[in-house]
Structure 1
Amino acid sequence: MSLKFGTSGLRGLSTDLNGPAAAIYATAFARYLISSGQAKPGDPILLGRDFRASSPDISAICAGALTRAGLTVLDCGTVPTPALALYGLEIGAAALMVTGSHIPADRNGIKFYRPDGEIAKIDEEAIGAEARALMGQSAPIDAVPGMAADHSQQAEALFLARNTAILPANALAGLKVGVYQHSTVARDLFVEVLTHYGADVVPLGRSDDFIPVDTEAVSPATIDLLKAWALEHKLDAIVSADGDGDRPLVSDETGLPLRGDLLGLIAAQFTGATIAVTPVTSNSGLERQHGLSIVRTRVGSPFVIAGMLDAVRNGQSGVIGFEANGGTLTATSFTINGTPLRALPTRDSFLPVLAVLSCAARSGEPLSALATGFALPVALSDRIENFPMETSAALMARLRSGMDNLSTFLAPIGTPKAISDIDGLRVTLTDGSIIHFRPSGNAPEMRCYVEAETAGQAERLLEQGLECIRTFGRQPG
């Protein structure tokens, strides 16, 4: 089984997951919950899924396995992951979300939630151990039809109530906003929420086939679509999300996507947060923002959540987290416009979208000007897909093996001045620019992140970095 836990949940090829593997991991999760005292036989467990072709079958297999393990499955259907997590917190139930998030359609995964929120790395290890113990056994994979009660309306209604109370009435009146619907489970809720606040909403690009949208490395083809729609419909913004609706995508009035870490920063300021926990891949200019302390972590929501919980345990209030993909988490409750906002310590795409659009509506500025006003270094990222994981591991071993090897690898780009090895290898060059190499945690991809003073410099640096990766990948052995 080529399945592994990555930055957020279990991931792998759909063909590997759709069968005994789904039953094994669902059973392992149920056994872990019961053995650790987080659930008892008969307790409810929520089940959601995205729109991938393989998700209904995998979800059905999980439902059968969870039922056999002694839990009561509540089917929440195709809802955003943050909606599933919120409903779990509300009723004190664990949850599984069948989704591959932003990765290609031939892959899928499962995200796991304890009754008190998203699992941590220690939980992943325990679930993995339970799964390995089950792998020698024959796991039934029939779906046990009719066993799961439909709770999709309850989960959706709770999430809708949360997001229609954040802003004042008609807070987005005067804005014309496109919603790139593609195949995200957030597509109809975005239209409903934005319409509720008075925005003129234009649904765009709805698809019956699954389209992977990576909000951290938006593809050129997606950007071309956004630019064409922005021009055709004279839009103030376009919003969207990845497959399971926990990572936001927001483009400005020209169709150019805003960086995810900028969305998180705006959400932090919007909520009045005083501490923001974010991975090392987020923009280095965050530390220069007044009134907000930045805590850096490895990439992945479990590490961000761990950092947020550390801050809460240390007595801090106003704690938020966000990733370079824009997914925003809250570790403490906030009061926004006089309305309490419950802590939701899992990635959410709706809070940052509403924060950014609210700021634009209040200021009267176009989103491009709003973004420029933060004066962050120009940051870009991209990935090389279908880059074998063993090749990524060999590349990282080479770069970490000594300054001579690193300098030789970077010779076409520049001279290294400082190095951070928190997650991947982040190198500050002598001209002050930054290049960061990091293998994906859940797919055969190699990622490259750069920062520079100007857009032209950042674009050149990114292309040079990607070419260095490609050159290494073409080497024999």
Structure 2
Amino acid sequence: MKFGTSGLRGLSVDLKGRASALHASAFGRYLLDSGMAGCGDVILIGQDFRDSSPEIAGNCAEALASLGFDVRDCGTVPTPALALYGLKKKAACLMVTGSHIPADRNGIKFYRPDGEIDKTDEAAITALAAEFDRAGFTFSPRGARMKDRSEECLSVFRQRNATVLPAGALAGLKVGVYQHSTVARDLMVELLEHFGATVVPFGRSDEFIPVDTEAVSEETIAKLKEAARHHRLDAIISADGDGDRPLVADETGMPLRGDLLGLIASNFLCAATVVTPVTSNSGLETAGAFSVIRTRVGSPFVISGMQDALAAGQDHVAGFEANGGVLTASEFDVNGHVLDALPTRDCFVPILSTLFLAATKRQPLSLIAASFHLPFAAADRLENFPVDTSGRLMAHLRASPASLAAFLQPIGVLDSVSDIDGLRATLTDRRIIHFRPSGNAPEMRCYAEAQSEAAAQDLLHAGLERILWWAQAN
């Protein structure tokens, strides 16, 4: 078990055993010892549609009930819905989800009563879990029942999103909803119809399908393109497994970059300060009427950056990740209503604001996307890439400027490098290539930027090939 960029991750077969109960117990004990919660307090549990999630959620519930907590079941709901409900109830939460990773893996996201846990919390929970493990932690599941609060949880989130746009704001748009196995699938259809769009749901699956909105697979893109062509759609929307990362495709079925969705959402909110990781598009600093703060990859770092901005006296503070998930640290006045702060990734605000922009401008999404004139970006990952290999590669590249320059020599000439999170190299021709091991899976990620789509794709493929060459040679 390991904490990554967002939550605990591990093999499903392990989490279905004592590992989930062990870490839930550690979380519960941490809440009690720190005074964040007391015996008898409510804890909320949600889950995604993976086959392993119900059993893992049950293990967590029993472990927390044994510590004296009042455990409530919020069912299969989007992570931002669970987080918002927790904030309203001042209750800690656990979301059982592996997000976008394959079904043989799963995870748990933890929320304090005041929001998402940070890296200090992660370290404390990890230490307590290790302490319990050394003491011979045992767990025998008995199938305890939880009080059902799924409809109430979803209702709070539904009300939040139902006032984001004016009535009938999406009338005239024909929007596909790629439902697959995301927990956001039914609410997406409901909200689009609420705002007047013609909705075409497709691709619903009873089996879990991993959809990575930051690196959409060729297979998924082919499905989106076919649906766009067959149904003559103006746009397609979807999300990852737990509904905190958006996917928006244009009228041709081509997905828009997540950082573009974040940019559109930030403009829609009239944000004054935006916090985003170093992997988001380098053109953001000149693309919006807001100041930009760059961080490491992962929602805890974005949240920390937003908190620092608030502490410095800034308001209208928002954030987003390169996957498009939008976070808000401030209240925002939207459509004559107050949109409460929700400092965790949300897929609905970026989706609704992007569709609203298309409806307002009455232009194809592809044309709107091009009008921002951002550098073309591409991203992909090498799956099942050993963690120790990626660690050795990054150590080699960081050993000296000469090592990185030699590695990049077949690709281009190194001009400068940033080491905020992974190595982000700017070449003398202003192309950018970024190497970064995944924080929560055995994957090596590569990001590329250039002045044309073809050049960005060529640079991305060249970067992935160099990674594979080094791994085979070492």
TM-score normalised over the length of structure 2: 0.99
SS in 2 for 1:171: coil
SS in 2 for 1:19: helix
Q: What is the match of residue 376 of structure 2?
A: 378
Q: What is the match of residue 436 of structure 2?
A: 438
2:60 to 59, 62, 72: 62
Q: What is the match of residue 394 of structure 1?
A: 392
Letter in 2 for 1:55: S
Return the alpha-carbon distance in structure 1 between the equivalents of residues 20 and 142 of structure 2: 11
Return the alpha-carbon distance in structure 1 between the equivalents of residues 408 and 331 of structure 2: 45
Counterparts of 1:164-313 in structure 2 under 5 Å?
164-313=162-311
Letter in 2 for 1:16: D
Return the alpha-carbon distance in structure 2 between the equivalents of residues 439 and 290 of structure 1: 29
8 Å Cα contact 1:96/1:111 also seen in 2: yes
Counterparts of 1:5-404 in structure 2 under 5 Å?
5-136=3-134, 137-146=136-145, 148-404=146-402
Runs of 4+ residues deviating >3 angstroms: none
Return the alpha-carbon distance in structure 2 between the equivalents of residues 176 and 473 of structure 1: 46
Shift of 1:290: 4.1
Return the alpha-carbon distance in structure 2 between the equivalents of residues 82 and 309 of structure 1: 18
Return the alpha-carbon distance in structure 2 between the equivalents of residues 5 and 128 of structure 1: 8
8 Å Cα contact 1:64/1:141 also seen in 2: no
Q: What is the match of residue 425 of structure 2?
A: 427
Shift of 1:139: 2.1
Judged with a 3 Å threshold, the aligned counterparts in structure 2 of structure 1 residues 143 and 326 are, in CA distance, closer, same or farther, namely farther
8 Å Cα contact 2:274/2:319 also seen in 1: yes
- Structure 1 residues 131-172: Cα deviation after superposition (integer angstroms, max 9, x where no partner): 0111132321404422x1000000000000111111111100
- Structure 1 residues 337-393: Cα deviation after superposition (integer angstroms, max 9, x where no partner): 111100000000000000000111011011011111110000110000000000000
Shift of 1:106: 0.5
- Structure 1 residues 429-452: Cα deviation after superposition (integer angstroms, max 9, x where no partner): 011000000000000000000000
8 Å Cα contact 2:98/2:241 also seen in 1: yes
Structure 2 residue 458 is matched with structure 1 residue 460: yes
Return the alpha-carbon distance in structure 2 between the equivalents of residues 126 and 290 of structure 1: 38
Return the alpha-carbon distance in structure 2 between the equivalents of residues 211 and 470 of structure 1: 27
Return the alpha-carbon distance in structure 2 between the equivalents of residues 345 and 406 of structure 1: 36
Shift of 1:12: 1.1
Letter in 2 for 1:361: A
Return the alpha-carbon distance in structure 2 between the equivalents of residues 67 and 472 of structure 1: 49
Return the alpha-carbon distance in structure 2 between the equivalents of residues 220 and 69 of structure 1: 46
8 Å Cα contact 1:44/1:72 also seen in 2: yes
8 Å Cα contact 1:330/1:344 also seen in 2: yes
Shift of 1:289: 2.1
Letter in 2 for 1:351: V
Return the alpha-carbon distance in structure 2 between the equivalents of residues 466 and 141 of structure 1: 45
Return the alpha-carbon distance in structure 2 between the equivalents of residues 400 and 301 of structure 1: 25
Q: What CA RMSD, in Å, does the superposition of the two structures yield over aligned residues? A: 0.8
Return the alpha-carbon distance in structure 2 between the equivalents of residues 289 and 378 of structure 1: 14
SS in 2 for 1:25: helix
Return the alpha-carbon distance in structure 2 between the equivalents of residues 325 and 291 of structure 1: 21
8 Å Cα contact 2:263/2:288 also seen in 1: no
Return the alpha-carbon distance in structure 2 between the equivalents of residues 462 and 393 of structure 1: 20
Return the alpha-carbon distance in structure 2 between the equivalents of residues 195 and 332 of structure 1: 28
8 Å Cα contact 2:247/2:258 also seen in 1: yes
Judged with a 3 Å threshold, the aligned counterparts in structure 2 of structure 1 residues 364 and 143 are, in CA distance, closer, same or farther, namely farther
Shift of 1:17: 1.4
For structure 1, which runs of at least 5 residues remain unmatched after alignment?
none
8 Å Cα contact 1:63/1:144 also seen in 2: no
Letter in 1 for 2:411: I
Letter in 2 for 1:75: D
8 Å Cα contact 1:63/1:143 also seen in 2: no
SS in 1 for 2:345: coil
Letter in 1 for 2:319: G
TM-score normalised over the length of structure 1: 0.98
Return the alpha-carbon distance in structure 1 between the equivalents of residues 142 and 127 of structure 2: 24
- Matched length: 473
Shift of 1:475: 2.2
Shift of 1:33: 0.4
Judged with a 3 Å threshold, the aligned counterparts in structure 2 of structure 1 residues 388 and 432 are, in CA distance, closer, same or farther, namely same
Return the alpha-carbon distance in structure 1 between the equivalents of residues 361 and 111 of structure 2: 38
Return the alpha-carbon distance in structure 1 between the equivalents of residues 118 and 79 of structure 2: 16
- Structure 1 residues 62-95: Cα deviation after superposition (integer angstroms, max 9, x where no partner): 0100100111100000000000000000111000
SS in 2 for 1:347: strand
8 Å Cα contact 1:320/1:328 also seen in 2: yes
Return the alpha-carbon distance in structure 2 between the equivalents of residues 453 and 406 of structure 1: 23
SS in 1 for 2:343: coil
Shift of 1:242: 0.3
Letter in 1 for 2:137: S
Shift of 1:408: 1.6
8 Å Cα contact 2:211/2:240 also seen in 1: yes
Letter in 1 for 2:151: Q
